[in-house]
Chains A and B, each alone.
Chain A
Amino acid sequence: MTDEFFKRLEWPYPILWSKQKEINTDVLILGGGIAGCWAAIAALKKGVKVALVEKGGTIRSGAGGAGCDHWESAATNPCSKITPEELTQAMIEDNNGYNNGISHYIECREGYDRLLDLEKMGGKIRDTEDEFTGAEFRDEETKFLFAYDYENKFTLRIWGTTFKPALYNECKRLGAEIFERTMATSLLIEEGKQGARVVGATGVNGRTGEFFIFKAKATVLCMSRPTRIWLFSPALPGISEFRPPQCTGDGHAMSWKVGVEFTMMEKSVKGEWSGDRSYPPYGTGNTHNTWYACSMVDAEGGEIPWADRDGRILTNISERYRPAPGQKFFLKGGGESDFPSYKYKGPDILPVDVLLKRGYKLPFYADLPSMPEHERRAIWGLMVGQEGKTKIPILRTYTEAGFDPKKHLLQSYGDGWKSGSFLPQERQLFGLPGGIVNDWELRTNLEGLYAAGDQLFASNCHGHAAATGHYAGRHAADYAIKASEPNIDALQAEQERTRVFSPVNRNNGIGWKELNMRISRVMQHHCGEIKSDGLMAAGLEQLRSMQENEALELYARNPHELVRSLEVLNVLTNAEIVVHACLARKASSKHLHFIRSDYPEMDPSEWHKFVTIKLEKNGIVIGERPIDYYGSLEKNYESHNPEYSKGLKR
């Protein structure tokens, strides 16, 4: 601890909150994470002007900025035995239709192209140093390393810590105008009318407080999914959720206010990760994801059996990476899918309750020492090392503390990767959560507004963010090239400026952490596991009351706290979106993790559809779309991307 810790210090950056800057661009990208950087790169390659607005520091920011250990759905890589159509269809079926056919088809069609692009930018995607020569997951010709299904080879192990700096440098090289440490606060719409064309956004810098008005022909939403709606730790807010703390779902809140259509926002799952409940991600003994398919032992050293989808006990480690007899391919093993369908279910250890009945003793441990050398090094050193938040927090920290993967058993603390136990009302938007409804150009229902990555409904991983980011960026650029000059509504911008700075004009009131705690308490009590109209209406009333009262009492003492305060206002809006969505679906649904005590029948056929909600002048508009609204994947993709698909080999 240095002396400065005990001193009152002068704010280190110039305070510019009386300043305002206007920026004119063709394509405005909001959010500079994985999706945002790819959107910028694709738009720049179309020759348009691009402004990128990023709340953190673009070189490492976003949920995927620190690293990534495997790239899913690279169905067009030369070793894959599965087509993009088969893989997307499997992902749709595995979720009973509640999935984004468009965005995941884009991921399956173009994810591998993005990997090749990354390699040209300096990212590492193959075993160029021959560290794994002879491993059964390595293709000797391409030097690609595969994960999960070694037979069908559509998931690649990659060196993802090299990716974000490469993307950042490429954005700069191509001439993106990057606004670092700047939070986008609102979308600007033509004549300030809800539902009209989006013509830009406003932003505020978290170091200086400078206010920005961005005027743009097209805008791409690339911010995070909502977080901290149910889970908030005032002591350790930075690890309230899995994603970084500044990933608060600002884009959802700002687009809701201007009339963007959402779906699946009623889906939330029992908490999967929070620093308050869990251990460091990928830092405990488990069999999931980064650790697939590590051997486990019980407290007395007894080896825990693995089985295939038919319950057949696997007799060697290699079988954990192969489909079952009669199965073409499996999606993921290690208990990753919520309700895996028989058709695509991967190998897993026997369920914990079965193991305990058979006499296995807790705690269980990951048994890296018993894994074959290639597999052990692939898990500990490659994947634990490259996956986001493992290089320093796990690999370096544990190694320095004496952990030796050849000698030590690493304790497991809970089911699968979750490494923690949650109460049913402690919920999260995780595992293909809700988001913005998109068409085949990844456009929203508003003209000039596109969305990618975690802003889309049923989003998931790094490859999805990359593929949809690139796709949305190039379609937004195509629109911008033909679009008319945008006109900013001065009144709307001025009103937003007043709203943004109101917390710094107060000397006391409510701090951002207190408000976030209140939101999560209200949501746990009124929109927890078991939902009903009456209970949710009572919750909604309290959220509205917070908007009208406590939200107007927030105070901030510097630009950093101002950004944190504005984020919590977005958390509040996002909580309202969730409750509205939950009220709109009058039926329970297994795959949506959605239980209604007043509509207990599970998945009645008339509710097998996407329920949509949006805000209009006179209130909430509830709509619906067929579960397969996107139509034929291949045909629609090709008709919307003739120029792109022509130049590529399938």
Chain B
Amino acid sequence: MKGKKVYVIPEQGVSNPVVFNPEICNGCNQCIEVCQVDILMPNPEKGKPPVVLYPGECWYGGCCAAACPKPGAIKLNIPLMNRVRWKEKT
């Protein structure tokens, strides 16, 4: 293990829990520091949105979106099968 360079390929998740808007996100990486599962990594290019490395491990706690200083930069995406239905009260 010594001296080896370590590379990663972002996992393809069943769902995409965290979606960044690259127009709004300024790559401040605050979301990375509040993610307790550590599923995100900083973008190799400074100023660009973090990379979702391990989407399957997302807890869907929303701490990333709550800590984000740029409204609209992060969208938490609930997995399709977990979306809930409502209807108008008549």
| A, B co-complexed | yes
Most chain A CB inside 10 Å of its own CB: which residue of B57, B62, B67, B86: B86
Which of A21-29, A53-61, A88-96, A475-483 interfaces with chain B? A53-61
Find out whether the CB atom of A392 lies under 8 angstroms from the CB atom of B89.
no
Measured between beta carbons, the chain A residues less than 8 angstroms from B61 are 60, 65-66, 244, 388-389, 392-393
Closest-CB distance, B63 to chain A (whole angstroms):
4
Find out whether the CB atom of A407 lies under 8 angstroms from the CB atom of B89.
yes
Report which of A5, A8, A389 forms a contact with B60, defined as CB distance below 8 A.
Answer: A389
How far, in whole Å, are A238 and B61 apart by their CA atoms in the complex?
10
Closest-CB distance, A269 to chain B (whole angstroms):
21
Measured between beta carbons, the chain A residues less than 8 angstroms from B48 are 2, 4
How far, in whole Å, are A283 and B43 apart by their CA atoms in the complex?
32
Nearest to A4 among chain B residues (CB) is B51
Report which of A244, A388, A411 forms a contact with B86, defined as CB distance below 8 A.
Answer: A411
Measured between beta carbons, the chain B residues less than 8 angstroms from A62 are 36
How far, in whole Å, are A391 and B63 apart by their CA atoms in the complex?
9
Find out whether the CB atom of A10 lies under 8 angstroms from the CB atom of B36.
no
Measured between beta carbons, the chain A residues less than 8 angstroms from B44 are 4, 9-10, 12
- Against A, the Cβ 8 Å flags (1 = close, 0 = not) of B1-30 are 110111111100111110010100000000
- Against A, the Cβ 8 Å flags (1 = close, 0 = not) of B43-65 are 11000110111101111111101
Does A573 interact with chain B (Cβ within 8 Å)?
Answer: no
- Against A, the Cβ 8 Å flags (1 = close, 0 = not) of B77-90 are 01100111111111
Provided the pairs A4-B44, A280-B78, A392-B66 are in contact, do residues A407 and B88 lie with their beta carbons within 8 angstroms? yes
Provided the pairs A2-B22, A235-B56, A393-B60 are in contact, do residues A9 and B8 lie with their beta carbons within 8 angstroms? yes
Question: For the side of the interface on B, what is the size category?
Answer: 35 or more
Find out whether the CB atom of A279 lies under 8 angstroms from the CB atom of B35.
no
Does A560 interact with chain B (Cβ within 8 Å)?
Answer: yes
Does A239 interact with chain B (Cβ within 8 Å)?
Answer: yes
Nearest to A410 among chain B residues (CB) is B86
Find out whether the CB atom of A245 lies under 8 angstroms from the CB atom of B37.
yes
Find out whether the CB atom of A11 lies under 8 angstroms from the CB atom of B36.
no
Closest-CB distance, B59 to chain A (whole angstroms):
5
How far, in whole Å, are A9 and B8 apart by their CA atoms in the complex?
5
If over half of B's interface residues share one DSSP class (helix, strand or loop), that class is named, otherwise mixed; here it is loop
Measured between beta carbons, the chain B residues less than 8 angstroms from A83 are none
If over half of A's interface residues share one DSSP class (helix, strand or loop), that class is named, otherwise mixed; here it is loop
Measured between beta carbons, the chain A residues less than 8 angstroms from B60 are 238-239, 275, 280, 389, 393
Nearest to A9 among chain B residues (CB) is B8
Find out whether the CB atom of A238 lies under 8 angstroms from the CB atom of B7.
no
Find out whether the CB atom of A409 lies under 8 angstroms from the CB atom of B1.
no
Does A316 interact with chain B (Cβ within 8 Å)?
Answer: no
- Against B, the Cβ 8 Å flags (1 = close, 0 = not) of A47-81 are 00000000111011110011000000000000000
- Against B, the Cβ 8 Å flags (1 = close, 0 = not) of A1-35 are 11011111111100101100000000000000000
Measured between beta carbons, the chain A residues less than 8 angstroms from B39 are 238
Provided the pairs A2-B22, A12-B42 are in contact, do residues A410 and B7 lie with their beta carbons within 8 angstroms? no
Does B34 interact with chain A (Cβ within 8 Å)?
Answer: yes
Measured between beta carbons, the chain A residues less than 8 angstroms from B66 are 66, 161, 391-392
Nearest to B40 among chain A residues (CB) is A12
Measured between beta carbons, the chain A residues less than 8 angstroms from B43 are 2, 4
Which B residues are closer than 8 A to A by beta carbons?
A: 1-2, 4-10, 13-17, 20, 22, 33-39, 41-44, 48-49, 51-54, 56-63, 65-67, 76, 78-79, 82-90
Task: Knowing that A15-B4, A61-B36, A397-B76 touch, tell me 19 more A-B residue pairs with CB under 8 angstroms.
Answer: A9-B7, A9-B10, A9-B44, A9-B51, A18-B2, A60-B63, A66-B66, A206-B38, A234-B56, A235-B14, A245-B59, A278-B82, A280-B84, A391-B62, A392-B76, A396-B65, A408-B86, A408-B88, A409-B89
A-B contact pairs, 25 of them (CB 8 A): A8-B7, A9-B8, A9-B44, A10-B7, A18-B1, A57-B34, A65-B61, A207-B38, A236-B58, A238-B37, A238-B39, A244-B61, A279-B82, A279-B83, A280-B84, A365-B86, A369-B89, A391-B66, A392-B62, A393-B61, A398-B86, A407-B88, A411-B84, A501-B1, A558-B6
